[in-house]
């Protein structure tokens, strides 16, 4: 089968790899029809992780079931399914508590959190930017879709990651009807957090970034764009909230944030977010913070420490939630919002490409080129 294979920093190629197949009775084999490139793939693509060359990416996957193992009894051949990016067993202590983002069985290393398809340090699971995907614990990990799945793949594929992840950010931040909410980052995740806040009935959603096309996307769904290359984002939020700050806020950027003040504060988003949210307000951090400087001189930075201004955070009496999204917790409800015509997350998609065009998709998306807001790949054509 063909797959998008990692060849080293900023180099992927579409190559023949061994076919995915049923290995255990609980496996499901999916022919992938839609699979996305994610901002999280860029951590590996840019060479900031120890993702091995020869492995392939892809954790935002949707497709048609073509074979099921003998122990699978809910999922059927022919079903269209979307796969939460978290690989989870369904039976461990964490899965039983709904924490599928921290499955203890699918992640073989005790010192790493959670498992995912096609990901560095998240277990041995192959990615879905390929023609076929093996889904372990298939009854648990497949979300079955309705009859409109084939025509609405670009909506439903967003259930694998960015729609529930954006929603999770707003849950961590406790966004409620009437709230004023600020989102840092207008990438696909930030746009989905803004969309979730709008769906929840927030009265004002402010989105900070500097890419005009991404800010325009956020504006299209009723958010207020704040361009941090033109204004100080904290001041802008203060002016829009009568000097009080937003009720809550979401961090959807991560450790690779650009630095509007040019003073090398790697986690400026977090500190700006704390200052943009009112005293006792709540914050959700879904942007990824992983080791900044593995080979550098600073011991704490090597271990992934960030210069978070805890004093300011404490002074304001705020609350903060963080981590990977437990996709399964949200994706039935979000699926039904899509099926019921109440949500159409495909508005974020800018490009639909064949699998063979993946290298150019990676290049443009990685450069955050104007107009490249979300890239969807179709391995079947
Ligand atoms: P992306 O890189 O496409 O988007 C990030 C956006 O943040 C860009 O538009 C960039 O211009 C903007 N940005 C950079 N510096 C900024 C700053 N200082 N202030 C405001 N905006 C700034 O990535 P994405 O796909 O949207 O993902 C965002 C983050 O979410 C990544 O770290 C990704 O790994 C993470 N993520 C987390 C989960 C989870 O489960 N927690 C799931 C998916 C993605
Ligand atoms: Zn993703």
Q: Is 307 found in the same domain as 206? A: yes
Instruction: Find the ligand nearest to 188 CA.
Output: 1
Tell which atom from ligand 1 comes closest to the C-alpha of 259: 18
- pLDDT band at residue 307, thresholds of 50, 70 and 90? confident
What does the block give as tokens for 340? Answer: 């019921």
Q: What is the pLDDT of residues 125-181, one digit of tens each?
A: 999 999 999 999 999 999 999 999 999 999 999 999 999 999 999 999 999 999 999
Average pLDDT score over residue span 272-281 = 97
Q: Is 308 found in the same domain as 183? A: yes
Q: Look at residue 198 in the predicted model and tell me its pLDDT.
A: 98
Separation between Cα atoms, residue 268 and residue 274, nearest integer Å: 10
Domain housing 156? 2-160+327-378
Q: What is the pLDDT of residues 176-204, one digit of tens each?
A: 999 999 999 999 999 999 999 999 999 99
Q: Is 198 found in the same domain as 80? A: no
Q: Please, which residues bridge with residue 184 across strands?
A: 208, 251
Please give the distance, rounded to the nearest whole angstrom, from the Cα atom of residue 39 to the centre of ligand 1: 6
- Cβ atoms 4, 355 nearer than 8 A: yes
Q: Is 48 found in the same domain as 19? A: yes
Separation between Cα atoms, residue 155 and residue 129, nearest integer Å: 18
* HSE of 273, CA atoms in CB hemisphere, 13 A: 33
Nearest protein Cα to ligand 1, atom 7: 185
In this structure, the dihedral spanned by the alpha carbons of residues 336, 340, 342 and 348, taken in order and rounded to 10 degrees, is 70
| Mean confidence (pLDDT) of the chain | 94
- Give the distance from CA 152 to its chain's centroid: 20
Q: Which of 290, 322, 354 is the last residue of a domain?
A: 322
Provide the CATH number for the domain around residue 285: 3.40.50.720
Provide the CATH number for the domain around residue 95: 3.90.180.10
Q: What is the pLDDT of residues 334-357, one digit of tens each?
A: 999 999 999 999 999 999 999 999
| Best of 37, 40, 60, 118 for a ligand 1 pocket test (most atoms within 8 Å of beta carbon) | 40
Q: Is 124 found in the same domain as 151? A: yes
- Cβ atoms 204, 270 nearer than 8 A: no
Q: Is 332 found in the same domain as 317? A: no
Tell which atom from ligand 1 comes closest to the C-alpha of 288: 32
- pLDDT band at residue 247, thresholds of 50, 70 and 90? very high
Phi, psi of 4 (to 5 degrees): -90, 100
What does the block give as tokens for 328? Answer: 């399964």
Instruction: Find the ligand nearest to 57 CA.
Output: 2
- pLDDT band at residue 112, thresholds of 50, 70 and 90? confident
Please give the distance, rounded to the nearest whole angstrom, from the Cα atom of residue 7 to the centre of ligand 1: 23
| Best of 36, 117, 190, 321 for a ligand 1 pocket test (most atoms within 8 Å of beta carbon) | 190
Please give the distance, rounded to the nearest whole angstrom, from the Cα atom of residue 254 to the centre of ligand 1: 6
- pLDDT band at residue 266, thresholds of 50, 70 and 90? low
Tell which atom from ligand 1 comes closest to the C-alpha of 257: 15
Q: Is 51 found in the same domain as 21? A: yes
Whose tokens are 């040019």? That residue is 262
Provide the number of structural domains found in the chain: 2
| Best of 44, 117, 165, 185 for a ligand 1 pocket test (most atoms within 8 Å of beta carbon) | 185
Quickly count: other Cβ atoms within 10 Å of residue 305's Cβ. Answer: 16
Average pLDDT score over residue span 61-84 = 98
Whose tokens are 């704490």? That residue is 300
- Is the confidence at residue 326, as pLDDT, over 70? yes
Please give the distance, rounded to the nearest whole angstrom, from the Cα atom of residue 36 to the centre of ligand 2: 8
Average pLDDT score over residue span 239-252 = 98
Percent of the chain with pLDDT over 90: 86
Q: Look at residue 301 in the predicted model and tell me its pLDDT.
A: 63
What does the block give as tokens for 88? Answer: 């989870």
In this structure, the dihedral spanned by the alpha carbons of residues 267, 271, 273 and 276, taken in order and rounded to 10 degrees, is -150
Query: Dmax over Cα atoms in the chain, in whole Å?
Result: 62
- Is the confidence at residue 290, as pLDDT, over 90? no
What does the block give as tokens for 258? Answer: 């650009």
Q: Is 171 found in the same domain as 67? A: no
Q: Please tell me the chain's helix, strand, coil percentages from 3-state DSSP, rounded to the nearest 5.
A: 30, 25, 45
Q: Is 147 found in the same domain as 236? A: no
Average pLDDT score over residue span 203-219 = 96
Separation between Cα atoms, residue 133 and residue 162, nearest integer Å: 20
Q: Which of 295, 322, 349 is the last residue of a domain?
A: 322
What does the block give as tokens for 16? Answer: 């023949």
Q: Is 208 found in the same domain as 147? A: no
- pLDDT band at residue 298, thresholds of 50, 70 and 90? low
Number of H helices, E strands in the chain: 13, 15
Q: Is 336 found in the same domain as 311? A: no
Q: Which of 274, 294, 322 is the last residue of a domain?
A: 322
Q: Is the four-CA dihedral 102, 38, 124, 137 of positive or negative sign?
A: positive
In this structure, the dihedral spanned by the alpha carbons of residues 310, 267, 307 and 294, taken in order and rounded to 10 degrees, is 140
- pLDDT band at residue 296, thresholds of 50, 70 and 90? low
Separation between Cα atoms, residue 121 and residue 128, nearest integer Å: 17
In this structure, the residues whose C-beta lies within 6 A of any atom of ligand 1 are: 38-40, 161, 165, 184-190, 208-211, 214, 228, 252-254, 257-258, 260, 268-269, 286-288, 324-325, 368
SS3 labels along 307-335? CCCHHHHHHCCCEEEECCCCHHHHHHHHH
- Is the confidence at residue 303, as pLDDT, over 90? no
List the one residue out of 160, 165, 122 whose CA is nearest residue 34.
Answer: 160
Q: Is 354 found in the same domain as 317? A: no
Average pLDDT score over residue span 101-117 = 90
Please give the distance, rounded to the nearest whole angstrom, from the Cα atom of residue 187 to the centre of ligand 1: 6
List the one residue out of 41, 8, 121, 74 whose CA is nearest residue 377.
Answer: 41
List the one residue out of 29, 33, 32, 2 whose CA is nearest residue 17.
Answer: 2
Average pLDDT score over residue span 55-68 = 98
Average pLDDT score over residue span 267-295 = 86
């Amino acid at each position: 089968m063909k797959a998008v294979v990692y060849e080293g920093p900023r180099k992927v190629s579409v190559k023949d790899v061994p076919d995915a197949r049923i290995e255990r009775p609980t496996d499901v084999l999916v022919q992938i029809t839609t699979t996305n490139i994610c901002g999280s793939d860029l951590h590996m693509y840019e060479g900031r992780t120890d993702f091995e060359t020869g492995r392939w990416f892809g954790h935002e996957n949707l497709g048609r079931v073509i074979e099921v193992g003998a122990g699978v009894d809910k999922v059927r051949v022919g079903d269209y399914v979307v796969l939460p990016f978290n690989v989870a067993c369904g039976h461990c202590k964490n899965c039983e508590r709904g924490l599928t983002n921290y499955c203890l069985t699918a992640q073989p290393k005790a010192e790493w959190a959670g498992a995912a398809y096609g990901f560095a340090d998240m277990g041995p699971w192959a990615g879905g930017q390929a023609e076929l995907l093996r889904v372990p614990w298939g009854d648990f990990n497949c979300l079955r879709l309705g009859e409109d799945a084939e025509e609405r793949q670009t909506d439903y594929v967003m259930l694998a990651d960015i729609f529930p992840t954006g929603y999770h950010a707003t849950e961590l931040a406790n966004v409620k009807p009437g709230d004023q909410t600020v989102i840092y980052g207008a990438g696909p995740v930030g746009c989905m957090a803004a969309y979730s806040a709008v769906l929840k009935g927030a009265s004002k959603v402010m989105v900070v970034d500097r890419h005009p096309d991404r800010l325009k996307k956020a504006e299209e769904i009723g958010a207020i764009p704040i361009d941090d290359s033109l204004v100080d984002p904290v001041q802008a939020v203060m002016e829009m909230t009568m000097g009080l700050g937003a009720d809550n806020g979401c961090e959807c950027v991560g450790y690779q944030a650009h630095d509007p003040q040019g003073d090398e504060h790697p986690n400026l988003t977090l500190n700006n977010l704390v200052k943009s949210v009112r005293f006792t307000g709540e914050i959700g951090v879904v942007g990824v913070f992983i080791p900044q400087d593995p080979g550098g001189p600073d011991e704490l930075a090597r271990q992934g420490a960030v210069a978070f201004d805890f004093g300011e955070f404490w002074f304001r009496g705020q609350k903060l939630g963080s981590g990977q999204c437990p996709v399964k917790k949200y994706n039935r409800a979000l699926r039904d919002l899509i099926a019921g015509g109440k949500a159409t997350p495909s508005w974020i998609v800018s490009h639909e490409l064949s699998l063979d065009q993946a290298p150019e998709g990676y290049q443009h998306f990685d450069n955050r080129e104007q107009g490249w807001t979300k890239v969807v790949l179709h391995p079947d054509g």
